[in-house]
Structure 1
Amino acid sequence: MEDQFFLSDATNMMVEPIRNFFATLFLASIWMLIHVHFLLNHIDILLAVIVLVIVIKTLVVATVVKGFRSNNKTSLLVGMSLAKIGEFAFVLLSRASNVHLLEGKLYLLLLGTTALSLAGTPTISFALASIQLSYLKLPYFVLNVMLMMKVYPRQQVGGVKADMMAANELNVHAFLQSSSKTVSQNLQILLGGFETKTGEQWLAFRNDGKYSAADYAKVKSEKMSKLGGKNSWNPFEKELTIKRRRFFVIKLLHGALCGLAYMHDHDRLHQSLGPASVVLNTVDEKDAAYLVPRLRDLAFSVDIRYSQLEEGSGALSEGLWRRASAAGAFTPMEKRAFGIADDIYEAGLLFAYLAFIPFCEAGIMDSLSLQRLLESTFRLDLEATREYCLADDRLLEAVNFLDLGDGAGWELLQV
């Protein structure tokens, strides 16, 4: 099923340029039918007709929806959402003109009305959205925007901690998105949030992708298994696939580290960095040039401004500062340095995950076994880890990836 989803995304990416081409050709051909002088001479009538059509369509659709026992607010919302004039009107006008149902001036008037309506779609949509928000008191997520919704359970189910996590994630995103003129492209964008009558906390994010780095690694690992051994895999195809995978993983890691660096520059720790907390806008390795990884899941983010460190820790950061104290970090400067180092250590585990899982067959290595191998078995001795992996042919591609640039991957992992 997951392979089908990824194949669907890849197909959409390939078809989209063709779709855009034909859409451009369609709109260009429509404007070739428009008489500019006629539009200019009758602009007042055209605008009045557009307003009239929107009002009539809104009332008609709202009446139909109301007939299905919907409330007034829902009926009016659906009516306003379908009020704009669509492209199919050109087809109807063309057919009506061919059978002489419309005379010349009326045809040009309706044609101009439809064209102006399409050209003004952004302005009309914004105006309708403003009416929806101002007069219907509707939450923003009903608008024509692609969103990713995240919910925290009500206090009776998730406890006080769930409310604290929701509030913290909301505040951190608000701070990071307003603290600079240039917001990092490697952070997921929060659009807003609200609380339901039952106490659930909802956060709405811009939908910049539905797959995480964990999803990507899992699917690529499964595909490595399906491709089978060396004898059943075209060596030239294998070489090209591995090169693309290396480039994709490097760009993925670079984007995640840029997002983490942006957070540190703005006095925020991530504190839950992992493969599932990096969302991707594409998982097609052929489209690696367009890949934009974004960090998400900032519910445990910690404020490391000196003023906050001097005031004391909150409930969500107690574990971090307990470990800091155990490591001998007591002053605000020491605690800040410890927190940043802890985030970087999590980034190292993320790098190790991305260096091994996508390059190994499914079941050979997972996140927990990899962490145990590094921390418990070899106690972060990467030379010994490399020797161990070299002895296992199933881990050879991961070793080759880390060996790039005279072992630059191992050096980065060591840092």
Structure 2
Amino acid sequence: MVVVATNCIPSSRVFSLSSLPSSFGGKPLNLQLRPRSGHRDWGLCKASLIMDPDSFEVGRLIGSYGFMNVTSYSGLKPGMDMEYSPADIGRLRVQDVGEGSVKIRLYEGRIAQGSRRGTPVIFKVYPGQQVGGVEADTMAANELNVHASLQSSSKSAICQNIQILLGGFETKTGEQWLAFRNDGKYSAADYAKVASEKMSKYLGEQKFWNPFEKDETIKRRRNFVIKLLQGAMRGLAYMHDNDRLHQSLGPASVVLNTMVEKDSAYLVPRLRDLAFSVDIRYSQPEESSRTPSDELWRRASAAGAFTPMEKRAFGIADDIYEAGLLFAYLAFIPFCEPGVMDSLSLRRLLENTFQLDLDAMREYCLADDRLLEAVKFLDLGAGAGWELLQAMLNRDFRKRPTADTVLSHRFMAAKFL
């Protein structure tokens, strides 16, 4: 799977590693974190993380994935029948993407010592500098520090909709191993793929002629998708409340504890992949600094956000836009047969073909029988789904809702199911 990230720009490291050897062939991570006002002492957070490599046992390889670099942004080209002002078009973005150099490996494992002995974990392994370059160390450092920050927040209890970091270590070859509590191996992208394949049973050439079973399946699917979106938005709201942006939100960055639609009552979606997260607690960043937020703030300035408060609002709205694309993905892919729609085609339809005019897109989808179940899903609540999606993808970042506002929308309440 591929995690789409907003940029892959090197930055200075924000933690250092001790040089103490261990029998595991690795060395513990030594967090160099500065206390922040309004947060608990970082020492408490550091003490709660397991940094001794001898405390872990590594199991089998689960898989691997990479990141895509966004190298530039440009305004959308106006459609033949649609005209927008240059200011409107400038607020939209088209990404020039390329394959990144950082490849992540995932392993199963468990904690072997201490009070948490036996706790299952997922190891996320960043390659050393010789393989992944400075980007790998930067991403690992940022992800570790973001989780440490969120898990030490004094504003509220730890959010169940964000993956929990338990510790980590560095190997002698320079690889960074981050250990997360194993609350599920599958992502929202995995779920959408499986759900799409099952749609062939009802929409394919060999249709299953049991209307009752089809209706029940669609009803369960709608409920599961809304529950998934609720969890993802709660995680995003928690991050924003704690002055953190996600900046790589997508179907592969939401991990699920179940993909069984009948078990939606027990579904707990969790956000992961915080390597590109941006801290928005501080004063306006330097435009010339080479940090993961560099491209974000340049786009903010291009959209008319100049003050620190305006840039903060732009960053939050940028996350909401990506959450809107996630919403669109989950509204279409699980309700279509394989090959009918994918994330790239859907994004092109939204941004290029219809330039975020969802009324026009709905009319287009109504003419294609293969997309009717997706249209019906968004039509629920007298078009509540289209209404929410249009708000999240608003061309003007100032008019997009906050994560809390999204959660309170009538579509997310799902009272019509």
Q: Same fold (TM over 0.5)?
A: yes
Deviates more, 1:172-181 or 1:381-390: 172-181
In structure 1, the residue matched to 2:134 is 160
Counterpart secondary structure, 2:166: strand
In structure 2, the residue matched to 1:149 is 123
Within a 5 Å distance, the mapping from 1:271-310 to structure 2 comes to 271-307=247-283, 309=285
The one-character-per-residue Cα deviations of 1:165-214 (angstroms, maximum 9, x if unpaired) are 10000000000011135111100000011111110001000000010000
Counterpart secondary structure, 2:293: helix
In structure 1, the residue matched to 2:375 is 399
Within a 5 Å distance, the mapping from 1:355-370 to structure 2 comes to 355-370=331-346
Does structure 1 retain, via aligned residues, the 8 Å contact 2:287–2:297?
no
Cα distance change on mapping 1:313 and 1:294 into 2, 3 Å = farther
Within a 5 Å distance, the mapping from 1:96-245 to structure 2 comes to 138-140=54-56, 141-142=111-112, 143-180=117-154, 181-227=156-202, 228-229=204-205, 231-245=207-221
Does structure 2 retain, via aligned residues, the 8 Å contact 1:220–1:358?
yes
Cα distance change on mapping 1:191 and 1:308 into 2, 3 Å = farther
Output the CA distance in 1 between the equivalents of 2:296 and 2:125: 25
Counterpart secondary structure, 2:54: coil
Percent identical across equivalent pairs? 79
Output the CA distance in 2 between the equivalents of 1:233 and 1:265: 48
Aligned alpha-carbon RMSD (Å): 2.0
TM-score normalised according to structure 1 size = 0.66
Does structure 2 retain, via aligned residues, the 8 Å contact 1:306–1:333?
no
Does structure 2 retain, via aligned residues, the 8 Å contact 1:278–1:293?
yes
Structure (1 or 2) with the larger CA radius of gyration: 1
Count of paired positions: 284
| Code of the aligned partner of 2:370 | R
Question: Which consecutive unaligned segments of at least 5 residues does structure 2 have?
Answer: 1-22, 25-49, 57-110, 392-417
Does structure 1 retain, via aligned residues, the 8 Å contact 2:53–2:169?
no
In terms of fraction of residues, the more strand-rich structure is: 2
In structure 2, the residue matched to 1:57 is none
Question: Which consecutive unaligned segments of at least 5 residues does structure 1 have?
Answer: 1-72, 75-132
Q: Give 1:321 deviation, angstroms.
A: 1.1
Does structure 2 retain, via aligned residues, the 8 Å contact 1:313–1:321?
no
Q: Give 1:231 deviation, angstroms.
A: 4.5
Counterpart secondary structure, 1:191: strand
Does structure 2 retain, via aligned residues, the 8 Å contact 1:310–1:332?
no
In terms of fraction of residues, the more helix-rich structure is: 1
Output the CA distance in 1 between the equivalents of 2:144 and 2:326: 24
Q: Give 1:313 deviation, angstroms.
A: 5.1
Please tell me whether residue 320 in structure 1 is matched to residue 328 in structure 2. Answer: no
The one-character-per-residue Cα deviations of 1:141-171 (angstroms, maximum 9, x if unpaired) are 4341110110111011111111011000000
In structure 1, the residue matched to 2:11 is none
Does structure 1 retain, via aligned residues, the 8 Å contact 2:167–2:179?
yes
Does structure 1 retain, via aligned residues, the 8 Å contact 2:187–2:252?
yes
Runs of 4+ in 1 over 2 A off after TM superposition: 139-143, 226-233, 306-314
